[in-house]
Amino acid sequence: MRNRPGRHTARFLAAQHGRGVSNPRRGVSNRQGAGARRSGAAAHRHRRTTPPGDHRGLARGGVTLLVCTGLVWLHTPAGATLGESEGEATSPFWVEPGGPAARQVRLWRERGREADAAVLERIAGRPAAVWLTDQDPKEQAEQITRQAEREGRIPVLVAYNIPHRDCGQYSAGGADDAARYRAWTARAAEGIGSRQAWVVLEPDALAQWASGCVPEPAASQRLALLADAVRTFKARPGASVYLDAGNPGWISDQQRLAGAMLRAGVGRADGFALNVSNFHTTPVTRSYGDRLSALLGGAHYIVDTSRNGNGPLLPEAAHAGAHAAAPVPRAGIAAPPPRNADGRAPTEDRIHGVAGQAPEAGGDEPWCNPPGRALGTPPTLATGSPLIDAFLWIKRPGESDGTCRGAPPAGHWWADYALRLAEATPASR
């Protein structure tokens, strides 16, 4: 029987409360987190134009607590999202204390940059997913889930090691072959054990398959591998699994995508994930997600809101700034020497590129470290939608999309960009 995130979360938090574990964020979803009845997906961010109307935000709404059948239900008015304080009050998810944003905050405070450190707390103090990319993920998964359990929280993990990952682009890599990938997912699941975790499965993998960039033999194996991964993670009693299904600007043929999701095992998963590492606004993502859900018999889904506060960069703006340098310091403030989170100098690990290499030209890729973006709705279970199980920060704000616009490699921390995300005032949520 499939796990339901709502029931999962309720039991977990109730158990923590019964053991006397401090848990100020007691919220539980108003849904039973219905696992998608069909198949799951994958994808992310590549070279797609912005859908019309992708610049409007949702109105903010309040939270109503209802007691029913022994559970706490969270309800927001239809079409509403939460402000920062309300979102934090309805999030059971784990905040990584030693993440790059937290390390940067400590470093800046040591160096007297109190104002910047305070701004960056908007990232450091909120839950963000941890990406499992190690060759053997067992230790990392075990360490994270044990720590989160001790703190009465639920970690969000991203499994990201599919063969021919990212079609050889900025995040190229992954397992060498199908057998090694199956072994990798087994080790990750073993690390989770019987503890609680939400698992986002293979960003980009399905949408890239649908777009035709995956070569053989990886293409013919991919959907079966994803289905195997769903089974492997769902065999763990505390795991909720969401297969990535891309973003509203990528695969327009939703019938084709839904068919691939069915073959990839979404029917055994808890749902699918949208907008991972992208910037599409929540209303646009919800419209796309609801249509895809209907093709899958009412599958639930989650949305990455980590950087969608200002929506995506328009293609013409992306082209105009394609070769722009790293963000310009604020007026009247001297730019500090760029350093990474643990204080190393640029010659050791450059914040604006790879030491000893010239950064790649950025092109006009609007998804790759676009300027002028902002943080989106903080992680929460109170989404205002019966189909959306949670808004999550799956992409970790401040980590690079790739070596474009003077950025470091994909997944590397970029403090300047993180600061500007946190400083920006969202135009939409």
Find the helix or strand (DSSP H, E) in which 317 lies.
helix 315-320
Q: At 387, list the tokens.
A: 């189909």
**Is the distance from CB of 332 to CB of 338 less than 8 angstroms?**
no
Find the helix or strand (DSSP H, E) in which 419 lies.
helix 415-423
Known active-site residue 416: no
Known active-site residue 304: no
| Catalytic residue, candidates 116, 204, 244, 304 | 204
Cα gap 26→196, rounded to integer Å: 16
**Is the distance from CB of 397 to CB of 306 less than 8 angstroms?**
yes
Q: At 31, list the tokens.
A: 């849904």
Cα gap 98→198, rounded to integer Å: 20
Burial class (CB within 10 angstroms; exposed 0-12, middle 13-18, buried 19+) of 53: exposed
Cα gap 44→410, rounded to integer Å: 13
Find the helix or strand (DSSP H, E) in which 73 lies.
strand 71-75
| Catalytic residue, candidates 228, 244, 364, 401 | 401
Cα gap 155→145, rounded to integer Å: 6
Find the helix or strand (DSSP H, E) in which 181 lies.
helix 178-192
Cα gap 295→291, rounded to integer Å: 7
Q: At 373, list the tokens.
A: 């973006």
Known active-site residue 290: no
| Catalytic residue, candidates 54, 116, 166, 389 | 166
Residues annotated catalytic, as ranges: 166, 204, 401
